[in-house]
Amino acid sequence: MKGILSFLEKAGLVTTDAPPLEQAPVLDLGTTSAAPAPANTSTAANVASMAPSPSPAAAPPAQSEGAPPRLDDIYASQGVSPSAYPAERLLRLLGGLSAMDEATRQLAIRAMDAADESWTIADPLADASAKVTALAAHAGQLEAGLEQIELDIQTQLDAVSARQAQVVGEIQKQMAELEALLARETARAAQETAAHEATLKAARERTARELETITQASEQLQGLSKQFGAPPTSTAKE
């Protein structure tokens, strides 16, 4: 354990020669360029100081319409209880120790766990498990919600299709009836037109024949006048 602490001290992650403070500040390992944190003369306190403290809660930014929900909101909605050592803190700590090999990193984490009685490795692991379950449940709700939306939309699409089929069918039926009516009306008009034209033709032929007869009779009568002169004027008897 002492060798691990010495390694951490050489890496600038812990110190053992700083004057004691009322409370050992913690090192935010979210970035690898953070300055070494002052520590108590107690080695255990120095190791414990490596665990980053939670950042002050910032006001949640306003989400635009359609923006994904914040993970904290999902965890709260799924009833995940606050953890003494959240899984995210352990992830940040692992990120700060990323320069170490896996075995050394494991030893460093266990050294911190043993040095700080306020948390154990089981805390972030249990928190991670609860959050994984919460995310899975939320994902299931999203999928179920999407499935319901798909069912609703499909129902509406089916209704639109059925209404279209009914309306188009009625229109086609009316069009067929109108076409039949048009054909009947066209045929009747043709018949009536032919009948009227035949009547007119017959009247013209009859009139022509009568006019020819009248013309012939008139010409014959006019011929008598040419042959015998004008008829004598008749006088009334006394």
Q: Which pLDDT value is given to residue 224?
A: 86
* pLDDT mean over 23-43: 36
DSSP character string of 68-107: PPPHHHHHHHTTPPP-SS-HHHHHHHHHHTTTS-HHHHHH
Query: What is the per-residue burial (b if ≥16 Cβ within 10 Å, else e) of 77-107?
Result: ebebeebebbbbbbebbeebbeebeeeebeb
pTM: 0.49
Q: Which pLDDT value is given to residue 118?
A: 84
The C-alpha angle with vertex 140 and arms to 84 and 153, in degrees rounded to 5, equals 145
Q: Report whether pLDDT(125) > 80.
A: yes
Alpha carbon 130 to its chain centroid, in Å, reads 32
Joined together, the tokens standing for residue 173 give 């039926």
Ordered by start, the domain boundaries in the chain are 2-53+80-120
CA-based radius of gyration for the chain = 56
- 147-190, pLDDT tens digit by residue? 999 999 999 999 999 999 999 999 999 999 999 999 999 999 99
When pLDDT is cut at 50, 70 and 90, the band that residue 229 belongs to is confident
Q: Report whether pLDDT(46) > 60.
A: no
* pLDDT mean over 45-65: 43
Count CB-CB contacts under 10 A for residue 204: 10
